[in-house]
Structure 1
Amino acid sequence: MQDDDLSLFKAELRGVKPIKHDRADTGKPKSDRKQLATLRQAASLRVESTKVDGLSDQYVIDVGPEDVLHWAANGVQEGQMRKLKLGQIAFEGSLDLHGMSVEKARDTLWEFLAEANKLEVRCARITHGKAVRMDGRKPMIKSHVNTWLRQHPMVLGFTSCLAKHGGTGAIYVLLKRTMMDGRDE
């Protein structure tokens, strides 16, 4: 019976050539996960929803007129955010977006943040208003600013202001600084 198995095995292997190299093919090299995630995200965005400035309106986070805003980028220390919330980091610039259209507010905000970057501003106040609307809809500018700032590369975090600086109608924004005059981020 063993001879039959051996002869069957040899018959099956007839015409098979031995492998000339002893290295295994492990497949293609692993791709860079960050690059892949960026490409996937870019592919999923609709072209008309993203402006040149990079601030997208595709997914706007709706917030209420009295909602407290608070957001911190990864790596921002909670102590810094606590100081920001308590108004202990002086704001060096202020922007008022009251009464603007969404498009005008976006352009104004982008220009303001670019100027703040040039001037090495650490903290700024942005007044977006509460826009308590008779039709019951959420405040447009407040919701958009909340969404846009999360996307901006210069923004480390933001939180609603103290009452004396505008309360839930304004936010303190903590900005990145580049190395200048011995100061660090």
Structure 2
Amino acid sequence: MKPAIPAPKASSQDALRDLRKRLRQPQTARVKPEPTPPPIAAVRAEPVPTAADRALFRAAAAGAMCLEASMHPPPQGLQPAPPQPIPRQSLRDERAVLVEAMSDELDLDHLLETDAALSWRREGVGADTLRKLRRGHWTIQHEIDLHGLRRDEAREALGQFLRTALLREWRCVRVIHGKGLSSPQREPVLKHKVRSWLMQRDEVMAYVQARPSDGGAGALVVLLRSARRMERSVSSKPGD
């Protein structure tokens, strides 16, 4: 007869039973541990100056000069350009010359031609110039509209316009003064003033009433002297 196998101990059976249970259960996925973050570098604190440091700095900076105001002027070419002065006195003088050159006290109606258009020509200008001016022989190069302006405003504007015309060598221009229908008592005050002012200007050679297509009784066509002829006439005056 075979000898009988002794029964295992109770503790061994319990361990074997636990092992079988663990083998039957599904294996769970291993969780990777999170990486450990790098250590945060410590912020280096700025050293606080001590009383000894301040005393050392004051001793080292003794005798230093402030650089806000330089003792030496900047080099040539780097100096800021001074602002241009406003010629207020020159502007006042020019305005006074314009006013004096076109007086309101001078009545020159007796110098007008006796035709229906009340034209005017300077002494030495032939009558054929007026005929050419009426027929549009010269092209109107520019114009100024004085309609609606007060007397002083119109006089100053006309003076400035004639100066510009002389500089730009305009020979034929149109001056719109209006018919005066909106004036008190419906009298064309500005119309008479403009004719008188033009006769007092040396650069004006002649003028005629504009054709109906160019403004009719509300405008004048003005013939101007060239800038070169103005220079010659000024230089030929006695006393120069």
Deviations 1:78-111 (A, max 9, x none): 2121110122211111110010000000010000
- Selected match of 1:169 from 218, 227, 237: 218
SS at 1:85 equivalent: helix
Which residues of structure 1 form unaligned runs of 5+? 1-50, 181-185
The amino acid that maps onto 2:106 is Y
The amino acid that maps onto 1:170 is A
Q: In the aligned structure 1, how far is the partner of 2:189 from the partner of 2:105?
A: 14
Counterpart in the other structure of 1:146? 195
Counterpart in the other structure of 1:70? 119
Between Structure 1 and Structure 2, how many residues are aligned?
A: 126
SS at 1:179 equivalent: helix
Deviations 1:22-74 (A, max 9, x none): xxxxxxxxxxxxxxxxxxxxxxxxxxxxx522110013467xxxx73300000
Q: In the aligned structure 2, how far is the partner of 1:79 from the partner of 1:87?
A: 12
Mark the CA change 1:93 to 1:153 in structure 2 (over 3 Å): closer, same or farther.
same
Which residues of structure 2 form unaligned runs of 5+? 1-95, 110-115, 230-240
Q: In the aligned structure 1, how far is the partner of 2:131 from the partner of 2:216?
A: 16
Counterpart in the other structure of 1:57? 104
TM-score for the superposition, normalised by structure 1: 0.63
Mark the CA change 1:133 to 1:120 in structure 2 (over 3 Å): closer, same or farther.
same
Q: In the aligned structure 1, how far is the partner of 2:108 from the partner of 2:178?
A: 16
Counterpart in the other structure of 2:157? 108
Alpha-carbon shift at residue 77 of structure 1 (Å)? 1.8
> Which structure 2 residues correspond to residues 1-185 of structure 1 after superposition, within 5 A?
51-53=96-98, 54-60=101-107, 68-133=117-182, 135-179=184-228
User: If you compute each CA radius of gyration, which structure gives the higher value, 1 or 2?
Assistant: 2
TM-score for the superposition, normalised by structure 2: 0.49
The amino acid that maps onto 2:104 is D
What RMSD, in angstroms, separates the aligned Cα atoms of the two structures? Answer: 1.9
Mark the CA change 1:170 to 1:134 in structure 2 (over 3 Å): closer, same or farther.
closer
Mark the CA change 1:134 to 1:119 in structure 2 (over 3 Å): closer, same or farther.
closer
Q: In the aligned structure 2, how far is the partner of 1:75 from the partner of 1:176?
A: 13
In percent, how many aligned pairs have the same letter? 35
Moved more, 75-84 or 106-115: 75-84
